[in-house]
Amino acid sequence: MSEAIVTVTEQQPHRRGRLGPLGTMAWLDLRETLRARWFQLYVLGFTSLMGLFFVFGLAESQVMGFTGLGRLLLTFIQITLVVLPIFVLVTTARTLVGDREAGVFEYVLTLPVSLAAYYWGRLLGRTAAIALPLVAALGAGALIERLRGGEVPWAVVLYYSGLVLALTFCFLGLAMLISVVSRTQEMAIGLAFGVWLALEALIDALLIGLLVQERAPVESVMAAALLNPLQAFRTAAIALFDPELTILGSVSYALLDILGQGGLLAWALAWPTVLGAGAAAVGAFIFVRRDAL
Amino acid sequence: MILVQHLSKRFGRAHVLTGLDFAASAGERVALVGQNGSGKTTFMRCLLGLYRYEGQITVGGHEPRTERSALLEEVAFVPQLPPAFRLTVGEYVELIEATCRVREERIFSLAHELGLDVEAIWDRPFPALSGGMKQKLLSAVAIARRPKLLVMDEPGANLDPTARRILYTQLARLDDDTTMLLSSHRVDELAGLVTRVVELDGGRIVLDDVVARATELDSIAGSTQAFVELVDAPASVSSTLQEWGFVPTEGGWRGTVANPDRFRFLALMTRWSGLVRRFTFDDPRGPQGPGDDLSER
């Protein structure tokens, strides 16, 4: 190796990245996510699912009153309801605690980027990475149906896209909070799984069980149902098509009766978003105030 | 540039820094030395705003916790262990360009001096680089930023001797008003570069020695044979002597102390005065000279 010292030209002031610290962090997280194996499997899984629905003629089937693309979308959204929350929780709850364990914080957090920009940038990038493939799959389904000459319920497609975004943001917010408070990745995964299990448990069947077996007050059961984002999501998704008691379940039916269809649909969009934002804000509050390492 | 007053930091019940006072003016080049667990890294992390702390710290007039972004505009840091972030080399350089006032050409040039062709590894994942390559890239980035304060934790740890020498040359070329805080286990690594040696032990400063001329330490480069006879050898004492490279022999411990580290070693012996029965430095003026029994003077 030559030991000759290369003369370095005088440093010119460099123009800041156009994205700013927040955008830069979001862009970096997005690129990192796009490269991750879990993300590639996730995209492959959901696009394959949509493709399979068409291949097996789900759009032409008629079951329990749901027909055409509506049935296909409802099936897609029901699968999303099962897969998305646990997927988001497990993959995202590891991020910040994983960065801390891997020594990334020790370096990246000594760059002139505020802790808030780092935190919210990561959340923004991850939201885009998780939600966009789902919205794209919904859009692609609608487009294919349109090209085949079928009728596309655009309002439903739009509302489901909103639901997917709300649910994604909700669980990302919860996952970021878990990631901040966890000391190890193992602890984060355990907490994430616990949150998912609790929310899955508090849907219609268990709530009715509580009502009957424990004689819980109806108001508290309704409140629990309203505050469970999974319950709100599930009820709103079905209520668009056939708000019958046999399909919805008794608690969801009661919710629909209390709020009305418009109110329920608005609640299902607003509450998960607020819950996710609240959890993320609490996570940010803790993140910027405690030791980074 | 740096003003630290009554700095304390504890993790649970463990007190890592205890009422530490420190000041460094612009342009001072400080070697921060001490054994493992002496508090060097914690001290640096407090300066960088990574930890909450008790006491007062200002770096360039900024408080590390409440004015992080403004402070970190003027500070560059190279950790002892490179981060394991999941970026390519190109993305890492883009991150630096986007967040710091630095041009990639300057990073390329400095890395090239160290023997690293950044453009050739642009698309490689950062974790796939060797330890030495990562260290070269991180060092090049830190120097390219022309910081007012440069903090490096074990700067030469992963570098081969040639790259280490070039790195120290690059550091020496930095502006005269650049303050440096370089952590190391051994002062001899940094001889010729630093103007002051600060030793931490048990979370306190136990030695603060100003070197009048930058070449003063270098001019006495070399090493001295030493022998220590202990009254008793608790595990912590044995462990520390082993870290200094000493080995147990008949009647005591024998090892070699780099000449620039001799004052630190003497300070260590002073702190162990109750445990040391006798210690000697061989006369560096001649290989046949009798050992200087310092404990009897």
Q: What confidence tens digit (pLDDT) does each residue in A128-182 have?
A: 999 888 888 888 888 888 887 777 788 888 888 898 899 999 999 999 999 999 9
CB within 8 Å: B50 and A24: no
More confident residue, B108 or B261: B108
Task: Please determine, for residue B178, whether its predicted confidence score (pLDDT) is greater than 80.
Answer: yes
| Residues in A touching B17 (Cβ below 8 Å) | none
Q: What are phi and psi of B10, to 5 degrees?
A: -135, 150
CB within 8 Å: B101 and A6: no
CB within 8 Å: A108 and B87: no
Is the CB of residue B75 less than 8 Å away from at least one CB of chain A? yes
Instruction: Label residue B37 by pLDDT band (50, 70, 90).
Output: confident
- A252 located within any domain: yes
**pLDDT number for residue A121:** 93
- A7 located within any domain: no
- Total structural domains in chain A? 1
Tokens representing B144? 């390219």
CB within 8 Å: A111 and B72: yes
CB within 8 Å: A1 and B72: no
β-strand partners of B196: B30, B210
Chain B, residues 43-62, CB within 8 A of chain A, namely: 45, 48-52
Is the CB of residue A104 less than 8 Å away from at least one CB of chain B? yes
- A15 located within any domain: no
Q: In Å, how far is A191's CA from the nearest CA of chain B?
A: 23
CB within 8 Å: B98 and A103: no
Q: In Å, how far is A284's CA from the nearest CA of chain B?
A: 15
- A1 located within any domain: no
**pLDDT number for residue A175:** 96
Helix (H) or strand (E) holding A67: strand A66-67
CB within 8 Å: B85 and A102: yes
Is the CB of residue B66 less than 8 Å away from at least one CB of chain A? no
Q: Rounded to the nearest 5 degrees, what angle is found at the Cα of B85, between the Cα atoms of A46 and A116? A: 85
Size of interface A-B (CB pairs under 8 A): 111
Our CA dihedral for A262, A263, A266, A271, rounded to 10 degrees, sits at -160
Among A12, A17, A28, whose Cβ lies nearest the Cβ of B97? A17
Range of the domain at A89: 20-53+63-286
Number of CB atoms found within 10 A of residue B36's CB: 10
Selection from B188, B186, B183, B194 nearest residue B153 by Cα? B183
| Residues in B touching A36 (Cβ below 8 Å) | 86
For residues A259-271, average pLDDT? 86
Chain A, residues 175-214, CB within 8 A of chain B, namely: none
Instruction: Label residue A285 by pLDDT band (50, 70, 90).
Output: very high
More confident residue, A17 or A55: A55
* Residue of B11, B42, B68, B150 best to disrupt the A interface, most CBs of A under 10 A: B68
Lowest pLDDT segment from A236-250, B219-233, B249-263: A236-250
Across the beta sheet with B223-230, the strand order is B247-249, B252-258, B223-230, B276-282, B291-293
Q: Which chain A residue shows the shortest CA-CA distance from B86?
A: A32
Q: Which chain B residue shows the shortest CA-CA distance from A287?
A: B50
More confident residue, A11 or A254: A254
- For residue A34, give the amino acid letter: L
CB within 8 Å: A110 and B169: no
* Residue of B44, B74, B107, B113 best to disrupt the A interface, most CBs of A under 10 A: B113
CB within 8 Å: A31 and B95: no
- A80 located within any domain: yes
Tokens representing B4? 């630290």
Is the CB of residue B102 less than 8 Å away from at least one CB of chain A? yes
Q: In Å, how far is B24's CA from the nearest CA of chain A?
A: 20
**pLDDT number for residue B212:** 57
| Residues in B touching A13 (Cβ below 8 Å) | 101
Task: Please determine, for residue A91, whether its predicted confidence score (pLDDT) is greater than 80.
Answer: yes
Instruction: Label residue B218 by pLDDT band (50, 70, 90).
Output: very low
- A212 located within any domain: yes
Residue A254, CB-side half-sphere exposure with 13 Å CA sphere = 15
